Amino acid sequence: MPYIPHSDKDIADILKTVGAASTEEFLKYLPEELRLKGKLNLPDGLSEQELSAELRSIAARNSTVNGYASFLGAGAYNHYIPATVGHLASRSEFYTAYTPYQPEISQGTLQAVFEYQTLVCQMTAMDVANASLYDGASATAEAVLMARRITGRDTVVMSAALHPEYRETVRTYLVGAGNHVTEALYCTEAGTTLPEAVEAACGDAPACLVVQHPNFFGSIEDLATLAEVIHRKKGLLIVVTAEPVSFGLLKPPGELGADIAVGENQSFGNPLAFGGPYLGFMATKTEYVRQMPGRLIGQTVDKNGSRAYCLTFATREQHIRRERATSNICTNHGLCALAAAIHLVSLGRVGLCALANLNLSKAEYLKARLSSVGIAPAFTSPTFNEFTFKLDTDPDAFMKALLKKRIMAGVGLKRFYPELARHIVVSATEMNSKADIDRFAEEAGKVTR
Amino acid sequence: MRHIVTKGLVLDEPLIFEVSSAGRKGVEPAVCDVPVVDAAKVIPAAMLRGANDPMAGFPEVSEIDAVRHYTRLSQWNFGVDTGFYPLGSCTMKYNPKINEDAARLEGLSAIHPYQPEELSQGALRLIYELEDYLAEISGMSAITLQPSAGAQGELTGLLMIAAYFKAKGRPRHKIIIPDTAHGTNPASSALAGFKVVPIKSESNGVLTLDAVKAVMDDDTAALMLTNPNTIGIFERNIHDIAAYVHKKGGLIYCDGANLNAIMGIMKLGEMGVDVVQFNLHKTFSTPHGGGGPGSGPVGVGKALVPFLPGPRIKKSGNKYKFVRDNPKSIGRVKAFYGNFGVMVKAYAYIRRMGPDGIRKAALTAILNANYIKESLKGTFHLPYDQPCMHECVFSDKAQSAYGVTTIDMAKRLIDYGYHPPTVYFPLVVHGAIMIEPTETETKATLDGFIETMKEIAEEARANPDLLKSAPVNTKVQRVDEVRAAREPILRWRPGA
């Protein structure tokens, strides 16, 4: 059997030690009526070679973003992953280890994640970041729960321009604690969260305002104004960033009034992988660290005074605090954080800023090219590497026609926003060549003409 | 087989920020083939990074700096590929390499979650079939693969339980949890809005019907148990307990953390379990990644199917489709569909093993745990002396006479080249040493470990200081975790 190394003699020797006649003998301690009589109804086992062929044939039934010109974003971004990431994150000393409970033999994971925490702080301009959460959506839900603990208040205001699947996740997580969630409308002209709507939704005692930046439509939010509204009401500002490459260009959340910065770091080092595993991040101010969920790595010393790292502030966590823990999270996304750190380190400071500018340039070029064929942006606000346009015709037919030309023309918004039935959100990254963008605009022009 | 520990070439490696040098570049982004945009012309200055850039201090290193940095860090880590990792309740089995290759196939990794269904038929098929396999292995009616890890699976299951009672118009507010449970169980229950009612296991390590009867009432939504439990013992009263809980209108939640002991041998659905979460990173051989990512699918019985998170996947003819209209669903617990990259690895494992391999894995895991238990029971105190399932729990009672505790023995094991077992858990055993060998280890490895444990017991008697000062063969020696919490340094800062 694969992966089970005992020879018949090994088994015979072990049985002799344990005083059993056969391996099956251990089953006699299990209730007879619960023991399976037959065999599981699963396909028979395959040799490694057969399995390899089978997996390839399944993979071949998917089209990839490399086989098409893909302008899909909306929370999952196609970026170039440097070769270093795959090679280093694939070192099995990293990926076959468990959570670093034994610091003396886990210094590699611990130092790498300590560095990752620092990188997140540097990008977001926050004081402290945790080791990772599952993804941007669940990180947002955890941030909302954290804001409730800090403020002792219930009311949660979410911008309607927050990713719809993030909003749905927040609502799911809040069921247990009573919902009290309201949504603040976006400005139909600018495509950004309306401060007046936030003001109205807040009531007297809001726990927090949740804003995505750049938001789901790609629009860059006026965070300073929104921060003023929520802070005047003594609530916390949670800034969600689903496309962290924007940190290379935009003023970070920490400088614009964010109390908690969360989001999705998939863009760094993690493949699209049909939606997961991704990498939730969370950063906050020092004063709130004891309310933060998730693992935290701290620097300390060993008994000889040498610098060392270990998991810390465990008294927040489920294995110590049980039902009074700040979160139930245990396994997080450590390896995804490692991949992100390797990507960020490989890029470096200049590289990250250059990448951000490259993304902006590509998206602006796409915007200009689409405009030139009569497809104009739907909103007036500035954008980063993603924006929304509106068609005069049926967007499903439009996307279908472009698919035939091997172009994935963005994500239709009808499913998420009934009022935006003719809107499509598109993203352009360094992966979209000028030729692809030109072709997209040209074909789009033909379809809408 | 025992290893002789020698001194390797362990090089120190500063923090990446400390080797940074202004102007050094690693992997540069591609050359811009469209007009370069001056950000200040399209985005207001107030929204752009200023001259006073807090990203100052962000690393600037060359490619080879980065490669050596992470290579060195990896060398300070201990993983399953490094050596024996008998971490109880974590099922640190071998992570097959073909699984890793599979997840990296372009057709399974360069696919966008929002690309059209007709271009994602392979991915949808894989998810659909994996749901099917897990349903068959567990005996449950339906599976969701959306939850990211075991704890998120627990939350998902508990929210479905809450929704089930709410839909009946009679919400219930309590969950009964045995004292042997993982900490995530009470934490997830609280997050789902339940009050936790603890319950003690009997002196023989199992739950009794009477104990359940004493606390079960008509405000109790579910009994949440782990089977086999964290002492490594099968909850043999489960059938009667489930029948009673069901009679009282309650449900049974099973934490599937220990599924490796029973797959192919018993089905949870047939024991009366209504909800179970799986840990693909334990039972189904996907790696733990130094702290994730895992995957925590949830299986449910018929009554709970309408409450599963969406979207669901349906097959009609040869086509797979997302179904988004699920009015009773608890909603989603994450964006997109789950940790697909992890699902690929679990799928590969199940296809490689087949029904015979799955069963043999469980049987061998049981055999190996009993081998360790029998071999060490004269040396270490065994609080529950009976046949175990996939893991066994000892304590430091015998060694405490010499002033030696579990942590000392755990640290000494490191010096001999083994990862320590789970320590001080379950909480019901004072000074617990919880050993789960898994089925993927050779007899030689098990023998080496057994011999080493005996030697450590002897050292505890003859030379306890040796254990107190362990480990000595590691990159760093015993780490001051108290100081880390008292004087927190949670990030690097320039000039620090």
Residues B334 and B402 in one domain: no
Whole-angstrom distance, CA of residue A113 vs CA of residue A104: 15
User: Which positions 176-205 of B are in contact with A (Cβ < 8 Å)?
Assistant: 182-184, 186-194, 196
- Among the residue ranges A213-227, A318-332, B251-265, B349-363, the one predicted with the least confidence is A318-332
Residues A213 and A354 in one domain: no
DSSP for B6-60, written as a single string = ----------GGGS--TT--SSPPPPP-SPPP-HHHHS-GGGB--SS-TTTT---
* B140, part of any domain: yes
Nearest CA in chain B to A74: B114
Cβ-contact A431, A267 below 8 angstroms: no
Residues B242 and B103 in one domain: yes
Residues A315 and A353 in one domain: no
Mean pLDDT of A227-249: 98
Please, which pLDDT band fits residue B55 given cuts at 50, 70 and 90? confident
The number of angstroms, rounded, from the C-alpha of A290 to the middle of its chain's C-alpha atoms is 23
This prediction has a pTM of 0.98
Whole-angstrom distance, CA of residue B375 vs CA of residue B378: 7
User: Which range marks the domain in which residue A408 is found?
Assistant: 69-80+349-448
Q: Of B17, B34, B330, which is closest to A361 when you measure between CB atoms?
A: B34
Cβ-contact B322, B119 below 8 angstroms: no
Q: List, in sequence order, every beta strand (DSSP E) within B147-288.
A: 174-178, 195-199, 220-226, 251-255, 275-277
Is the model's pLDDT at A295 over the cut of 60? yes
Query: Looking at the predicted complex, does its ipTM rise above 0.90?
Result: yes
User: Which positions 409-428 of A are in contact with B (Cβ < 8 Å)?
Assistant: 411, 415
User: What residues pair up with B312 in beta bridges, in sequence order?
Assistant: B323
Residue B7 vs residues A173, B295, B415: alpha-carbon distances, Å: 50, 37, 11
Q: Is the Cβ pair B364, A6 closer than 8 Å? A: yes
Residues A197 and A319 in one domain: yes
Residues A164 and A204 in one domain: yes
* A210, part of any domain: yes
Residues A294 and A327 in one domain: yes
Query: Helices B406-415 and B443-462 meet at what angle, rounded to 10?
Result: 120
Query: Is the minimum CB–CB distance between A393 and chain B shorter than 8 Å?
Result: no
* A53, part of any domain: no
CATH value at residue A365? 3.90.1150.10
For the segment B91-102, what is each residue's pLDDT rounded down to a tens digit? 999 999 999 999
Residues B254 and B400 in one domain: no
Query: Is the minimum CB–CB distance between B475 and chain A shorter than 8 Å?
Result: yes
From B326, B351, B376, give the residue that closes a domain.
B351
| Strand A155-159 relative to strand A206-212, pairing | parallel
The number of angstroms, rounded, from the C-alpha of B438 to the middle of its chain's C-alpha atoms is 14
Residues A211 and A326 in one domain: yes
Please, which pLDDT band fits residue B201 given cuts at 50, 70 and 90? confident
How far apart are the CA of B144 and the nearest CA of chain A, in angstroms? 15
Whole-angstrom distance, CA of residue A57 vs CA of residue B245: 46
Q: Is the Cβ pair A361, B13 closer than 8 Å? A: no
Is the model's pLDDT at B228 over the cut of 60? yes
From A315, A342, A369, give the residue that closes a domain.
A342
For the segment A144-175, what is each residue's pLDDT rounded down to a tens digit? 999 999 999 999 999 999 999 999 999 999 98
Lookup result for tokens 């009015």: B327
Whole-angstrom distance, CA of residue B72 vs CA of residue B331: 43
* A39, part of any domain: no
User: What residues pair up with B177 in beta bridges, in sequence order?
Assistant: B198
Query: Is the minimum CB–CB distance between A16 and chain B shorter than 8 Å?
Result: no
Query: Is the minimum CB–CB distance between A371 and chain B shorter than 8 Å?
Result: no
From A319, A342, A365, give the residue that closes a domain.
A342
Query: What sections of B295-436 are H helices per DSSP?
Result: 340-376, 397-400, 406-415
For the segment A75-101, what is each residue's pLDDT rounded down to a tens digit? 999 999 999 999 999 999 999 999 999
* B282, part of any domain: yes
Mean pLDDT of A116-136: 97
> Cα(first)–Cα(last) distance of chain B, in Å?
46
* A49, part of any domain: no
For the segment B33-42, what is each residue's pLDDT rounded down to a tens digit? 999 999 999 9
CATH value at residue A258? 3.40.640.10
Residues A306 and A409 in one domain: no
Query: Is the minimum CB–CB distance between A284 and chain B shorter than 8 Å?
Result: no
Chain A residues with CB-CB distance to B481 below 8 A: 103, 300, 310-312
Whole-angstrom distance, CA of residue B433 vs CA of residue A77: 45
Q: Of A247, A272, A350, which is closest to B110 when you measure between CB atoms?
A: A272
CATH value at residue B176? 3.40.640.10
* A64, part of any domain: no
Cβ-contact A66, A74 below 8 angstroms: no
Q: Of B54, B338, B478, which is closest to A302 when you measure between CB atoms?
A: B478
Whole-angstrom distance, CA of residue B147 vs CA of residue B337: 8
Residues A257 and A299 in one domain: yes
Please, which pLDDT band fits residue B1 given cuts at 50, 70 and 90? low
Which of the two residues, A303 and B1, has the higher pLDDT score?
A: A303
Please, which pLDDT band fits residue A322 given cuts at 50, 70 and 90? confident
Q: Is the Cβ pair B491, A128 closer than 8 Å? A: yes
Residues B159 and B215 in one domain: yes
Please, which pLDDT band fits residue B307 given cuts at 50, 70 and 90? very high
pLDDT attached to residue A271 = 98
Query: Is the minimum CB–CB distance between B45 and chain A shorter than 8 Å?
Result: no
From B327, B351, B375, give the residue that closes a domain.
B351
Whole-angstrom distance, CA of residue A413 vs CA of residue A421: 6
Is the model's pLDDT at B8 over the cut of 70? yes
Residues B453 and B328 in one domain: no
Whole-angstrom distance, CA of residue A160 vs CA of residue A148: 20
* B300, part of any domain: yes
Query: Is the minimum CB–CB distance between B271 and chain A shorter than 8 Å?
Result: yes
Query: Is the minimum CB–CB distance between A76 and chain B shorter than 8 Å?
Result: yes
User: Which positions 243-262 of B are in contact with A (Cβ < 8 Å)?
Assistant: none
DSSP for A204-247, written as a single string = SSEEEEEEESS-TTSBPP-HHHHHHHHHHTTPEEEEEES-GGGG
- Among A134, A324, A365, A369, which would you mutate to test the B interface (most chain B Cβ atoms within 10 Å of its Cβ)? A134
Residue A240 vs residues A264, A329, B13, B185: alpha-carbon distances, Å: 8, 20, 34, 29
Residues B134 and B229 in one domain: yes
For residue B7, count other CB atoms closer than 10 A to its CB: 6
Residues A312 and A355 in one domain: no
Closest listed residue to residue B488, CA positions, set A102, A136, A300? A300
* B122, part of any domain: yes
Domain count, chain A: 2
User: Which range marks the domain in which residue B254 is found?
Assistant: 98-351
Chain B residues with CB-CB distance to A323 below 8 A: 186-187, 189-190, 196
Q: Of B30, B32, B107, which is closest to A60 when you measure between CB atoms?
A: B107
Cβ-contact B277, B157 below 8 angstroms: yes
Token output for B293: 């990512």
* A95, part of any domain: yes
As a three-state string, the secondary structure of A39-93 is CCCCCCCCCHHHHHHHHHHHHHCECCCCCCEECCCCCCCCCCCCHHHHHHHCCHH
Q: Go through B115-142 and write b for each residue having 16 or more CB atoms within 10 A of its CB, e for each that does not.
A: beeebbbbbbbbbbbbbebbbbbbbbbb
Residues B331 and B393 in one domain: no
Domain count, chain B: 2
* A62, part of any domain: no
pLDDT attached to residue B52 = 64
Residues B369 and B346 in one domain: no
Nearest CA in chain B to A248: B49
Q: Is the Cβ pair A328, B113 closer than 8 Å? A: no
pLDDT attached to residue B416 = 96
pLDDT attached to residue B496 = 65
Cβ-Cβ contacts under 8 Å between A and B: the total is: 697
Residues B343 and B369 in one domain: no
Lookup result for tokens 């001259």: B51
Residues B342 and B208 in one domain: yes
Encoded amino acid at A445, one letter: G
Residues A330 and A437 in one domain: no
Please, which pLDDT band fits residue A416 given cuts at 50, 70 and 90? very high
- Among A25, A29, A55, A292, which would you mutate to test the B interface (most chain B Cβ atoms within 10 Å of its Cβ)? A55
Local structure of residue A131 (DSSP, 8 states): S
Burial of B97 (0-12, 13-18, 19+ CB in 10 A): exposed
Query: Helices A223-232 and A195-202 meet at what angle, rounded to 10?
Result: 20
pLDDT attached to residue A178 = 76
| Strand A280-284 relative to strand A128-129, pairing | antiparallel
Residues A125 and A157 in one domain: yes
Encoded amino acid at A271, one letter: P
Mean pLDDT of A202-217: 97
Query: Is the minimum CB–CB distance between B411 and chain A shorter than 8 Å?
Result: yes
From B351, B378, B403, give the residue that closes a domain.
B351
Residues B374 and B433 in one domain: yes
Residues B397 and B308 in one domain: no
Chain B residues with CB-CB distance to A345 below 8 A: 16, 26, 59, 61, 66, 69
pLDDT attached to residue B54 = 57
Token output for B385: 């002396």
Closest listed residue to residue A170, CA positions, set A133, A209, A140? A140
- Among B10, B47, B120, B158, which would you mutate to test the A interface (most chain A Cβ atoms within 10 Å of its Cβ)? B47
Closest listed residue to residue B35, CA positions, set A363, A32, A448? A363
Closest listed residue to residue B63, CA positions, set A73, A186, A345? A345
User: Mean pLDDT of all residues in chain B?
Assistant: 96
Query: Is the minimum CB–CB distance between B111 and chain A shorter than 8 Å?
Result: yes
Is the model's pLDDT at B5 over the cut of 80? no
Which of the two residues, B52 and A36, has the higher pLDDT score?
A: A36
Peptide bond connecting A277 to the previous residue in cis, omega within 30 degrees of 0: yes
Q: Is A264 helix (H, G, I), strand (E, B) or coil?
A: strand
Q: Is B413 helix (H, G, I), strand (E, B) or coil?
A: helix
pLDDT attached to residue B7 = 76
pLDDT attached to residue A323 = 86
Is the torsion defined by CA of A311, A313, A317, A319 positive or negative? Answer: positive
Q: Of B27, B78, B366, which is closest to A26 when you measure between CB atoms?
A: B366
As a three-state string, the secondary structure of B117-177 is HHHEHHHHHHHHHHHHHHHHHHCCCEEECCCCCHHHHHHHHHHHHHHHHHHCCCCCCEEEE
From A342, A360, A389, give the residue that closes a domain.
A342
Residues A147 and A253 in one domain: yes
Residue A137 vs residues A285, B76, B157, B335, B441: alpha-carbon distances, Å: 21, 33, 18, 6, 39
Who contacts A360 (Cβ-Cβ below 8 Å, separation ≥6)?
A: A249, A384, A385, B37, B39, B42, B43
Q: Is the Cβ pair A276, B289 closer than 8 Å? A: no
Please, which pLDDT band fits residue B347 given cuts at 50, 70 and 90? very high
* A441, part of any domain: yes
Cβ-contact A411, B335 below 8 angstroms: no
Q: Is B483 helix (H, G, I), strand (E, B) or coil?
A: helix
Mean pLDDT of B448-469: 97
